[in-house]
């Protein structure tokens, strides 16, 4: 099978002698041999195929291409000596071959058209997202008629995967952020000799911004993508359609438990991040600025207080709803191909992060209006 194939021009007899296994794996070699044949002009050349012991359609197509190529150059080639089987294959290939030029990909539409399509697409997404939000709210209200519809077990499972299992990574990252924050501020404070203000500055930054954002980023990365992949594969498996035909709302069955689970666990996660960020800041303050743990905590209590902590935790419900809904929404948009899950998962994480930062900015604006 791995025997070589070759074709040699014999100038005396004016023939091309062909030998060996003419298979797809040898076609490349045959191509270059044909190129170097050095055929004489204006003379009929005979190609003798008697010695070819194996011919497949790739080699046959190559042969036919080469013959017509030389014919165009004014060198007709006559095929002789092929076995009946090979002749039949050559005829089949000749009759079935299509030139690639005749089949064109549909041309790319003009730029303006694509901009239009994409805009409509985006508007439809907003429309779909709003509908999902509305349906979720309605399902939530209707669920009060029968408490079982809240899917307690499913909520608990979501709390476990989205919350409990995120605790170690959240603790580690929060601690590191606390350390970095205290270090950066500490350098400035040290030059003014205002070491003790580290508690106020880092406490305020952690409670109001850093802890909620770090939590949101981790949950968006872990959970939003998981929601998209789960609902997306259910979509491909037609499980969503199965639910619909049974008259069960996918929003009630799949989306609501996720949103509720995240709503419950998100404030707790922020609090968890608060604790570890502060520990990081305290550790750094003692190490670099010689502020004792006791002094740090006392200053924190007097100058920052519970109010700032709560201002951070108030962000939790919005973040939770944004992350869960974006994840689920992108999951429902998955189409039946393997690429789709990947691209929708990416979209869900990027959109969740994007929306979180927007929402965080709104919170800042609202807090400043309220002079908080």
Kindly state whether residue 24 participates in binding another protein, applying the rule CB under 8 A: yes
Kindly state whether residue 346 participates in binding another protein, applying the rule CB under 8 A: no
Residues between 64 and 83 that touch another protein (CB under 8 A): 65
The nearer residue to another protein, 26 or 139, going by C-beta atoms, is 26
The nearer residue to another protein, 153 or 336, going by C-beta atoms, is 336
The nearer residue to another protein, 58 or 176, going by C-beta atoms, is 58
Kindly state whether residue 306 participates in binding another protein, applying the rule CB under 8 A: no
Kindly state whether residue 100 participates in binding another protein, applying the rule CB under 8 A: yes
Give the C-alpha distances (Å, rounded to integers) separating 255 from 20, 119, 153, 229, 252: 65, 27, 14, 13, 6
Q: Looking at 53, 241, 302, 335, which residue binds another protein (CB under 8 A)? A: 335
Per CB under 8 A, the segment of 99-107, 206-214, 216-224, 286-294 that binds another protein is 99-107
φ/ψ bin of 113: left (φ > 0), alpha (ψ from -120 to 50), beta (otherwise)? alpha
Q: Looking at 88, 138, 187, 358, which residue binds another protein (CB under 8 A)? A: 88
What is the total count of residues that contact another protein (CB under 8 A)? Answer: 33
Kindly state whether residue 4 participates in binding another protein, applying the rule CB under 8 A: no
Cα dihedral sign, 266-268-272-275: positive
The nearer residue to another protein, 103 or 246, going by C-beta atoms, is 103
Minimum CB distance to another protein, residue 239 (Å) = 17
Q: Looking at 39, 46, 56, 81, which residue binds another protein (CB under 8 A)? A: 56
Minimum CB distance to another protein, residue 96 (Å) = 5
Binding site for another protein (CB under 8 A): 1-2, 23-25, 27-28, 31, 56-58, 61-62, 65, 85, 88-89, 92-93, 96-100, 102-103, 105-106, 335-339
């Amino acid at each position: 099978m791995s025997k070589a194939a070759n074709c040699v021009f014999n100038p005396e007899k004016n023939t091309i002698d062909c030998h060996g296994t003419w298979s797809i794996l040898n076609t490349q070699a045959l191509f270059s041999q044909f190129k170097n044949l050095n055929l004489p002009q204006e003379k009929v050349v005979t190609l003798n195929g008697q010695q070819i012991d194996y011919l497949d359609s790739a080699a046959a197509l190559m042969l036919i291409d080469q013959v017509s190529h030389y014919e165009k150059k004014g060198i007709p080639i006559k095929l002789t000596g092929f076995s009946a089987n090979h002749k039949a294959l050559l005829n089949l290939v000749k009759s079935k071959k299509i030139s690639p030029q005749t089949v064109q990909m549909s041309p790319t539409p003009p730029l303006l058209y694509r901009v239009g399509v994409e805009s409509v697409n985006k508007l439809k997404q907003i429309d779909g997202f709003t509908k999902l939000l509305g349906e979720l709210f309605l399902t939530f209200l209707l669920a009060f008629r029968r408490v079982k519809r809240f899917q307690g077990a499913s909520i608990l499972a979501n709390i476990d995967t989205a919350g409990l299992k995120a605790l170690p990574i959240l603790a580690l990252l929060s601690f590191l952020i606390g350390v970095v924050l205290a270090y950066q501020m500490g350098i400035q404070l040290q030059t003014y000799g205002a070491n003790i203000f580290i508690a106020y500055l880092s406490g305020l930054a952690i409670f109001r911004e850093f802890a909620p954002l770090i939590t949101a980023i981790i949950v968006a990365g872990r959970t939003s993508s998981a929601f998209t992949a789960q609902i997306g594969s259910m979509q491909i498996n037609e499980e969503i359609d199965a639910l619909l035909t049974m008259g069960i709302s996918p929003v009630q069955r799949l989306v609501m438990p996720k949103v509720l689970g995240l709503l419950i666990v998100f404030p707790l996660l922020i609090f968890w991040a608060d604790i570890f960020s502060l520990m990081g800041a305290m550790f750094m303050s003692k190490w670099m600025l010689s502020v004792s743990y006791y002094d740090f905590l006392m200053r924190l209590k007097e100058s920052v207080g519970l109010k700032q902590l709560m201002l951070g935790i108030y962000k939790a419900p919005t973040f939770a709803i944004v992350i869960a809904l974006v994840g689920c929404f992108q999951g429902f948009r998955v189409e039946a191909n393997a690429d789709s899950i990947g691209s929708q998962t990416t979209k869900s994480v990027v959109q969740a992060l994007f929306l979180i930062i927007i929402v965080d900015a709104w919170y800042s604006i609202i807090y400043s209006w309220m002079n908080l």
